[in-house]
């Protein structure tokens, strides 16, 4: 089972090396170590594997890990119970509910597995843990290191992103490597953003198209982890480095790190979805969302699908849903052409190229050589350290 994390390992490793404060470095090192260890484990959140009751409907359970790593932890709020004093618990409860509601109301899907899976979450995982993840059975949220990242429960798009990894797991099951892995990440960004937009009642034009807005603490020079509208512009901070996501195939990053660049090259299909939604207009979770959802759940995608495979599948879905002469199909085709996955002459894609060094003016992305310091993924043999001190007060 693949564990999926909202914060890429190369970013955490960059922070571990860039921080001057030994305590902060220890927190990031601890997060990296835990993530590396978890990659070798099977999912342990057995409680999340239970289907909902026969009555159907939304079923949530939130647990408190109490700054430990045993999952799921102590039960603190179940479906239908009143809010508690712990804001993280309530945010996890609300975020999973908003994601469930979006999938149900927009796409008719009954929870993550399509069959009423109960949504289990654990908050306060570990001490100063700077990440959130889907472990194949449940959501897990850290409280952040307190300097770069705050808590991870407050961003609906983060929760939606991670739960969508579960939807992909139960449908196309895209391999988490290379282009299929970047598609896996992009699909989670797409539906994570749609969950936030649906929850806020935002149109395509009103949405910020950011993933992880609100995660950064004051003083960080950045607005989010990623921008779907303009990949490569989400942050530019002395400690974080500069957002390395490409927005076009001419800047595709060939790397063995980050599972072949899954968090990096996902900027390309992310922008394709944004362009599709912007061209269609209205609510992105309507026509554009339906095209992407139909593509994901159609059963036609290979587990090792490339960007070109996915692009052509979205064209087929748009044609099936709206017709060969529809504006929706035209929007899909133009979007994939704009990001360089499809050409104007044909529906094929060029081979992923080494970065040419030419930046896309609209996105300001870095090429591979410029982003070299951010291309290192976490390794399982990272040196051990003493447990980090508790993060500073968030007051």
C-alpha 6/C-alpha 225 separation (Å) is 8
Q: CA–CA separation, 63 vs 84, rounded Å? A: 12
Which residues, 6 or more positions from 111, have their beta carbon under 8 angstroms from its beta carbon? 52, 58, 59, 100, 103, 104, 117, 118, 119
Catalytic residue among 162, 185, 294, 312: 162
Note the Cα 16 to chain centre separation in Å.
Answer: 22
Sequence-ordered list of residues with C-beta below 8 angstroms from that of 313, at least 6 positions apart, any chain = 295, 298, 300, 301, 305
- Helix spans in 135-282 (H): 156-170, 178-200, 258-261, 267-280
Of residues 34, 165, 248, 263, which has the active-site annotation? 263
Distance in angstroms (rounded) separating the CA atoms of residues 8 and 261:
10
Identify which of 123, 128, 153 has the alpha carbon closest to the alpha carbon of residue 15.
Answer: 128
- Element spanning 241, H or E: strand 241-242
DSSP class of 388? P
Tokens at 268, concatenated: 């390309």
Is 162 catalytic? The answer is: yes
CA distance 311 to 180: 12
Per-residue tokens: 350? 């060029």
CB 168 within 8 A of CB 185: no
- Distance separating alpha carbons of residues 100 and 116, to the nearest angstrom: 10
- Sheet of 119-123: strand order equals 4-5, 132-134, 139-141, 119-123, 60-64, 74-78
* 263 has catalytic annotation: yes
Residues that are catalytic: 162, 263
């Amino acid at each position: 089972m693949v564990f999926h994390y909202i914060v890429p390992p190369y970013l955490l490793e960059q922070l571990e090396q860039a921080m001057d404060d030994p305590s902060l470095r220890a927190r990031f090192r601890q997060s990296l170590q835990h993530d590396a260890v978890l990659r070798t484990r099977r999912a342990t959140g057995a409680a999340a594997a239970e289907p909902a009751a026969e009555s159907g409907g939304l079923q949530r359970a939130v647990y408190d890990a109490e700054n430990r790593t045993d999952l799921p932890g102590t039960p603190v709020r179940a479906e239908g119970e009143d809010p508690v004093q712990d804001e993280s618990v309530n945010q996890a409860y609300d975020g999973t509910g908003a994601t469930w509601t979006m999938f149900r109301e927009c796409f008719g899907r009954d929870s993550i597995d399509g069959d009423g899976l109960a949504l289990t979450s654990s908050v306060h995982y570990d001490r100063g843990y700077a990440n959130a993840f889907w472990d194949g059975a449940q959501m897990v949220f850290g409280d952040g290191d307190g300097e770069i990242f705050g808590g991870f429960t407050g961003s609906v798009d983060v929760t939606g992103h991670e739960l969508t990894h579960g939807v992909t797991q139960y449908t196309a099951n895209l391999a988490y490597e290379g282009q299929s892995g970047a598609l896996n990440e992009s699909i989670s960004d797409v539906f994570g953003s749609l969950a936030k937009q649906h929850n806020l009642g935002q149109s395509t034009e009103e949405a910020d198209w950011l993933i992880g807005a609100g995660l950064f603490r004051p003083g960080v020079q950045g607005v989010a982890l990623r921008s779907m509208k303009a990949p490569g512009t989400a942050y530019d901070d002395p400690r974080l480095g500069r957002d390395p996501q490409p927005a076009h195939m001419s800047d595709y990053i060939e790397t063995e790190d980050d599972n072949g660049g899954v968090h990096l090259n996902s900027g390309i299909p992310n922008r394709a979805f944004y362009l599709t939604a912007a061209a269609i207009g209205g609510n992105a979770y309507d026509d554009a969302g339906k095209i992407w959802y139909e593509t994901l759940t159609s059963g036609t995608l290979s587990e090792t699908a490339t960007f070109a495979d996915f692009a052509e599948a979205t064209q087929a879905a748009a044609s099936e849903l709206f017709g060969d002469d529809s504006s929706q199909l035209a929007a899909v085709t133009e979007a994939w052409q704009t990001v360089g996955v499809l050409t104007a002459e044909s529906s094929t894609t060029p081979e992923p190229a080494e970065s040419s060094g030419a930046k896309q003016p609209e996105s300001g992305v870095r090429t591979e050589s410029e982003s070299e310091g951010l291309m290192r993924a976490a390794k399982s043999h990272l040196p051990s350290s003493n447990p980090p001190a508790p993060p500073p007060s968030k007051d």
